[in-house]
């Protein structure tokens, strides 16, 4: 049932005469009641002259009809079941308020509107996705190839939503498995950015990696002072003390995140330069979202990695920026108690927000369509789960989270910049290996 042709007064969005060029596009062809031909609206609904007159007479006469059959007669031109024809008029949204009369027909009108609401309610129940059906991708687990999300950007059926969300959950599941395994993407550290964009996604080969039994490792060592407070000598001492037993998380997450984006068809089909632009724009925020969510999932109050690495406690006197990046980022997730489903959609919406002036118009359009699509899925999901009102509120909360995460992303970049400057000053010969190009792309300003 078309939701744009609407019901009560508040919902009366039917416009009057349209501009010339719009007319052909917007003028109806088929009577919504009897399928006859028409080219105009009556009482808010595309309808033929006959059905118009029929509805009018029904309302004015106030008569109530009874179906002689089973209240589901097919209405065609010439149909004779008045009860079913009138019911159909209501169902498609004919507006009795549009009948101009001095006669008091208010009771009839209230009845009609109540009836309309009941019809809508029963339809909603039948159509909208039932959440309890969502399984955590169990049917996909046999799939050996790298996962892909179906590229359907048409919003025709709720089934599609369900499918899309399940696919997202499945990819996220794989992402999590790899992240919690020994996978570091070490073999790709030397790759150019272009090569990384072109290589096969690693999300397909989860089985090759496992989670070590001794994780999380204990955080046994801590420094008295941070790199911002020490001199060259102390830095050399710290370096020796540091044990390379943790994963290099910023590299791992950057590589995995890039592979994740490849499973998003709307993203993967963009020109490579636009992809780079987008990653540059949203990369840091994506990393923050991922780190924060999986810390929160493990019930940690600050950024915490599966191998036990906990940056905020590695030295005393954390700076404000460190507190923001490593502690504050987790808080909104607790406040909202974000679910897995919500997180998956949030991640995608962060990517869709990477619309910058630098990308092509075509790509921008694609991103905007994707944003529309996924935000609607999020919305539909929340409506089903929490009901109309709570659902809308929660939707607002989660959307607000996007901007918050962007802020933290920016702070993350600032922090990394300061960190790099400090280390470069302490160790000008740069005995450290340079960070992979891809991390630079994520952290560029």
Residues that bind its own copies (CB under 8 A): 3-4, 6, 8-16, 68-69, 73-74, 76-81, 97-98, 109, 150, 152, 155, 158-159, 161-162, 349, 371-372, 375-376, 379, 384-385, 387-390, 392-393, 395-396, 399-400, 402-404, 407
Give residues with Cβ within 8 angstroms of 315, minimum separation 6: 222, 223, 224, 225, 226
What is the tally of helices (H) and strands (E) in the chain? 16, 2
Least Å distance, CB 143 to its own copies, is: 20
* Cα 440 from Cα 308, distance rounded (Å): 25
Using CB under 7 A as the binding rule, whether residue 19 contacts DNA is answered as: yes
Residue that has been written with the tokens 């496992």 in this structure: 210
* Cα 247 from Cα 153, distance rounded (Å): 37
Using CB under 7 A as the binding rule, whether residue 43 contacts DNA is answered as: yes
- Site residue total, DNA (CB under 7 A): 35
* Cα 18 from Cα 374, distance rounded (Å): 32
- CB-nearer residue toward DNA: 105 or 401: 105
Pick what 200 binds: its own copies, DNA, none; C-beta below 5 to 8 Å, kind-dependent. Answer: none
Least Å distance, CB 264 to its own copies, is: 18
The helix (H) or strand (E) run that includes residue 370 is helix 361-386
| Binder of DNA out of 10, 16, 337, 434 (CB under 7 A) | 16
Q: Residue 333 in contact with residue 292, Cβ under 8 Å?
A: yes
Which of 385, 398, 348, 341 lies closest to 136 in space, CA to CA?
A: 341
Residue that has been written with the tokens 């690495």 in this structure: 309
Which of 257, 224, 253 lies closest to 241 in space, CA to CA?
A: 224
Contact characters 68-107, DNA, x per CB under 7 A: ---------xx-x-x--x------------xxxx------
Least Å distance, CB 7 to its own copies, is: 8
- CB-nearer residue toward DNA: 21 or 142: 21
| Binder of DNA out of 2, 35, 57, 245 (CB under 7 A) | 57
Least Å distance, CB 95 to DNA, is: 8
Least Å distance, CB 94 to DNA, is: 9
Cβ burial of 321 (10 Å; 0-12, 13-18, 19+) is: middle
- CB-nearer residue toward its own copies: 31 or 250: 31
Pick what 393 binds: its own copies, DNA, none; C-beta below 5 to 8 Å, kind-dependent. Answer: its own copies
Residue that has been written with the tokens 């004779």 in this structure: 80
Q: Residue 85 in contact with residue 79, Cβ under 8 Å?
A: yes
Least Å distance, CB 336 to its own copies, is: 13
- CB-nearer residue toward its own copies: 8 or 440: 8
* Cα 231 from Cα 5, distance rounded (Å): 71
| Binder of DNA out of 7, 56, 88, 411 (CB under 7 A) | 56
Pick what 320 binds: its own copies, DNA, none; C-beta below 5 to 8 Å, kind-dependent. Answer: none
* Cα 186 from Cα 255, distance rounded (Å): 10
- CB-nearer residue toward DNA: 95 or 285: 95
Pick what 273 binds: DNA, its own copies, none; C-beta below 5 to 8 Å, kind-dependent. Answer: none
Residue 406: is the preceding peptide bond cis (ω within 30°)?
A: no
* Cα 15 from Cα 116, distance rounded (Å): 21
Least Å distance, CB 389 to its own copies, is: 5
Contact set with DNA (CB under 7 A): 14, 16-20, 23, 27, 34, 39-44, 48-54, 56-57, 61, 63, 77-78, 80, 82, 85, 98-101
């Amino acid at each position: 049932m078309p939701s744009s042709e609407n019901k009560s007064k508040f919902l009366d969005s039917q416009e009057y005469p349209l501009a010339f060029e719009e007319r052909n596009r917007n003028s109806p062809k088929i009577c919504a009641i009897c399928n006859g031909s028409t080219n105009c609206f009556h009482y808010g609904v595309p309808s033929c002259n006959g059905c118009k007159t029929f509805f009018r007479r029904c309302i004015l006469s106030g008569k109530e009809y009874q179906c002689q059959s089973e209240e589901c007669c097919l209405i065609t031109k010439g149909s004779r079941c008045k009860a079913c024809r009138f019911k159909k008029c209501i169902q498609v949204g004919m507006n009795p308020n549009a009948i101009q009369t001095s006669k008091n027909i208010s009771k009839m009108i209230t009845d009609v509107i109540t009836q309309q609401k009941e019809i809508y309610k029963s339809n909603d129940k039948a159509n909208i996705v039932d959440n309890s059906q969502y399984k955590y991708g169990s049917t996909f687990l046999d799939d050996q190839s790298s996962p892909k999300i179906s590229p359907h950007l048409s919003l025709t059926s709720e089934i599609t939503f369900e499918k899309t969300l399940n696919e997202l959950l499945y990819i996220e599941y794989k992402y999590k498995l790899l992240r919690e395994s020994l996978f570091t993407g070490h073999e790709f550290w030397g790759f150019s950015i272009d090569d990384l964009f072109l290589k096969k996604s690693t999300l397909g080969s989860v089985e090759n990696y496992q989670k070590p039994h001794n994780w999380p490792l204990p955080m046994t060592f801590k420094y008295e002072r941070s790199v911002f407070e020490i001199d060259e000598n102390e830095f050399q001492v710290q370096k020796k003390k540091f044990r390379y037993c943790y994963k290099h998380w910023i590299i791992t997450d950057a590589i995995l995140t890039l592979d994740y984006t490849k499973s998003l068809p709307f993203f993967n089909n963009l020109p490579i330069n636009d992809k780079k632009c987008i990653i540059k724009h949203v990369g840091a925020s994506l990393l923050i979202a991922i780190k924060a969510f999986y810390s929160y999932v493990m019930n940690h109050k600050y950024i915490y990695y599966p191998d036990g690495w906990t940056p905020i406690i590695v030295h005393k006197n954390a700076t404000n920026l460190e507190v923001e990046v490593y502690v504050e980022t987790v808080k909104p997730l607790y406040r909202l108690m974000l679910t897995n489903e919500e997180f998956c959609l949030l991640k995608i919406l962060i990517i869709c927000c990477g619309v910058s002036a630098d990308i092509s118009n075509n790509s921008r359009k694609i991103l905007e369509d994707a944003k529309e699509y996924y935000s609607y899925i999020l919305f539909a999901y929340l409506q089903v789960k929490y009901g109309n009102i709570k659902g809308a509120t929660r939707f607002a909360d989660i959307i607000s989270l996007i901007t918050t995460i962007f802020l933290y992303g920016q702070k993350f970049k600032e922090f990394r910049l300061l960190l790099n400057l400090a280390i470069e000053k302490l160790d000008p010969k740069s005995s450290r290996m340079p960070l992979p190009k891809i991390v630079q792309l994520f952290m560029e300003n």
